[in-house]
């Protein structure tokens, strides 16, 4: 029941896993900006002159490589490309080279204490951000820990041969452990969370497919139970009738009469099975919808009563509830769904509305003074459900145009309908066919920006027509 041509913007058109992936991807791009701000700029301020201009430039180059490596590594974790082995090795080599040059300048640079402090900051920052980014390119907890351990061990092995005092070397290695370990944990957790979101989305799709498959199996079992025995009996009695006919026995006629009776009985039973398959009980569908949506973490509120409705009306509205609930689960990002059943003058109106849908839906229509009581009549003096044409200026509550009746929305009044007419989609077409069989109508569309509303209206016989609740 998606709206053809609806547009909720670049962000609104994304699925929930797509939004999480975009957020994760841009978070790692933001890490590059953080590296420049936290490592490059302080190094520039500490160095003073001489090499000061080169330090932020080197850090910026490393940050750009971090962003590039993170992007391709995320594509690899999603299975969209091969592991970027060459880029990972290149990035690792650049990280080691910058770290070695930084520690050499820290101990033997010409700039004194200011340059030593700046290059030490670059040393710790480059190893921290480098190790954290490299953790995206490996799988498994052991490999992530190996990357962190390698960065810490490398920090010690580079410092000690250059004559750095052991306490200072241990302090720097600890700083590398904290920065690299924290970023590596962030990287591993982000990949795990992204994988979990996609797996949950696939599980939801699988659940919908399994529900359809289970219903098909149930229908197949019913047909097998009905037809299997009867067809076997028909085959045996037909064979017996053939043998009796060849022998000129009059009992063959009785056997064929029995075959005819069994065939008619089978025909009736098949019709009963199909009828039970095609019909849906509204009360059961409402209860089932509430349970399924609650299990999916979607709050579902059901209002109104559906007692005393004809069987064919309940069946048609039950299918609307079933189809609408399926689409709430499969589409959009719903957190709340409201289902309302209202019995009005001459008709019953079923409304299913959920949030989490981005679109250009219109606002509720007009301010006319004669809106139908529950969508069963149009504007002031509006027609009835079947064929009346409203002439008032109020907006029709369910029609396509103001003051119109619920079937085709024709009317002389102005004002937009509450729910726009939307075509397309096999689900909508099937529901309209079921509702048209009982004289009903279906409208569906986005309303108030981020909500989707389905309104089904079915006329009632005069004996069962109620008063609006």
For the domain that residue 354 is a member of, what is the CATH number?
Answer: 3.30.565.10
Looking at the chain, the whole-number percentage of residues with pLDDT higher than 90 is: 21
For 201-213, how does the pLDDT look when each residue is reduced to its tens digit (9 = 90+)? 888 778 777 877 8
pLDDT given for residue 49 in this prediction: 56
pLDDT given for residue 358 in this prediction: 59
Residue 301 and residue 164 share a domain: no
Residue 300 is assigned to a structural domain of this protein? yes
Residue 290 and residue 198 share a domain: no
Count of the separate structural domains present in the chain: 2
Residue 342 and residue 199 share a domain: no
Q: Is the pLDDT of residue 63 over 80?
A: yes
Give me the mean pLDDT over the 232-251 stretch: 87
Residue 92's pLDDT band, with cuts at 50, 70 and 90, is: very high
Residue 427's pLDDT band, with cuts at 50, 70 and 90, is: low
Residue 318 and residue 199 share a domain: no
Residue 142 is assigned to a structural domain of this protein? yes
Residue 332's pLDDT band, with cuts at 50, 70 and 90, is: low
Residue 26 is assigned to a structural domain of this protein? yes
Q: Which of 175, 203, 231 is the last residue of a domain?
A: 203
For 380-413, how does the pLDDT look when each residue is reduced to its tens digit (9 = 90+)? 333 333 333 333 333 333 333 333 333 333 333 3
Residue 213 is assigned to a structural domain of this protein? no
Residue 426 and residue 289 share a domain: yes
pLDDT given for residue 434 in this prediction: 79
DSSP per residue, 228-294 = HHHHHHHHHHHHHHHHHHHTT-THHHHHHHHHHHHHHHHHHHHHHHHHHHH---HHHHHHHHHHHHH
The SS3 assignment for 179 reads helix
Residue 189 and residue 320 share a domain: no
Residue 16 and residue 165 share a domain: yes
Residue 222 is assigned to a structural domain of this protein? no
Assigned token pair, 206: 């699988």
Q: Which of 163, 185, 203 is the last residue of a domain?
A: 203
Q: Which of 170, 203, 236 is the last residue of a domain?
A: 203
For 333-377, how does the pLDDT look when each residue is reduced to its tens digit (9 = 90+)? 788 899 999 988 888 999 999 987 755 443 333 333 333 334 464
Residue 104 and residue 192 share a domain: yes
Q: How far is CA 271 from the centre of its chain?
A: 38
Residue 226 is assigned to a structural domain of this protein? no
For 272-282, how does the pLDDT look when each residue is reduced to its tens digit (9 = 90+)? 777 666 566 78
Residue 300 and residue 154 share a domain: no
pLDDT given for residue 277 in this prediction: 60
Looking at the chain, the whole-number percentage of residues with pLDDT higher than 70 is: 76
How far is the C-alpha of 173 from the C-alpha of 345, rounded, in Å? 80
Residue 223 is assigned to a structural domain of this protein? no
Q: How far is CA 232 from the centre of its chain?
A: 48
Residue 168 and residue 47 share a domain: yes
Domain that holds residue 341: 282-364+418-459
Q: Model pTM?
A: 0.51
Alpha-carbon distance values, 203 to 196, 198, 329, 330, 382 (Å): 10, 9, 11, 11, 48
The residue among 350 and 115 whose pLDDT is bigger is 350
Residue 159 and residue 50 share a domain: yes
Q: Is the pLDDT of residue 428 over 60?
A: yes
Residue 276 is assigned to a structural domain of this protein? no
Q: Is the pLDDT of residue 455 over 90?
A: yes
């Amino acid at each position: 029941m998606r709206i053809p041509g609806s547009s909720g913007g670049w962000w609104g058109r994304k699925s929930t896993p797509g939004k999480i992936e975009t957020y994760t991807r841009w978070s790692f791009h933001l890490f590059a900006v953080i590296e420049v701000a936290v490592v490059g700029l302080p190094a520039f301020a500490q160095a003073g002159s001489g090499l000061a201009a080169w330090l932020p430039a080197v850090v910026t180059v490393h940050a750009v490589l971090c962003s590039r490596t993170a992007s391709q590594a995320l594509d690899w974790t999603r299975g969209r490309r091969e592991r970027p082995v060459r880029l990972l090795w290149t990035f690792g080599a650049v990280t080691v080279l910058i770290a070695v040059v930084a520690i050499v300048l820290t101990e033997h640079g010409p700039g004194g204490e200011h340059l030593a402090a700046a290059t030490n900051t670059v040393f710790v920052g480059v190893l921290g951000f480098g190790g954290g980014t490299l953790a995206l390119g490996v799988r498994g907890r052991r490999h992530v820990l190996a990357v962190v351990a390698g960065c810490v061990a490398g920090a010690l092995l580079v410092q000690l041969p250059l004559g750095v005092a052991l306490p200072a070397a241990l302090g720097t290695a600890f700083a590398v452990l904290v920065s690299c370990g924290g970023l590596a944990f962030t990287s591993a957790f982000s990949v795990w969370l992204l994988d979990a979101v996609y797996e949950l989305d696939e599980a939801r799709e699988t659940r919908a497919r399994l529900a359809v498959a289970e219903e098909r199996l149930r229908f197949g079992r019913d047909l097998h139970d009905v037809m299997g025995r009867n067809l076997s009996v028909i085959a045996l009695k037909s064979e017996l009738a053939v043998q009796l006919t060849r022998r000129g026995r009059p009992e063959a006629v009785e056997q064929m009469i029995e075959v005819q009776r069994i065939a008619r009985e089978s025909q009736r039973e098949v019709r009963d099975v199909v009828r039970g398959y095609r019909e849906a009980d509204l009360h059961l569908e409402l209860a089932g919808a509430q349970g399924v949506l609650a299990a999916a973490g979607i709050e579902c509120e059901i209002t109104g009563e559906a007692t005393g409705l004809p069987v064919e009306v309940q069946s048609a509205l039950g299918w609307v509830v079933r189809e609408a609930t399926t689409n709430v689960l499969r589409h959009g990002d719903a957190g709340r769904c409201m289902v309302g059943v209202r019995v009005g003058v001459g008709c019953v109106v079923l409304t299913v509305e959920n949030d989490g849908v981005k679109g250009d839906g219109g606002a509720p229509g007009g301010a006319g003074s004669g809106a139908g009581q529950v969508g069963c009549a149009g504007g002031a003096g509006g027609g009835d459900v079947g064929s009346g044409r409203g002439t008032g200026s109020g907006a029709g509550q369910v029609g396509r145009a103001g003051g119109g009746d619920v079937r085709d929305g024709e009317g002389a009044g102005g004002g937009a309908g509450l729910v726009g007419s939307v075509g397309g989609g096999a689900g909508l077409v099937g529901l309209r066919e079921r509702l048209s069989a009982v004289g009903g109508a279906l409208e569906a569309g986005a309303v108030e920006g981020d909500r989707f509303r389905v309104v089904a209206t079915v006329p009632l016989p005069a004996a069962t027509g109620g008063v609006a609740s």
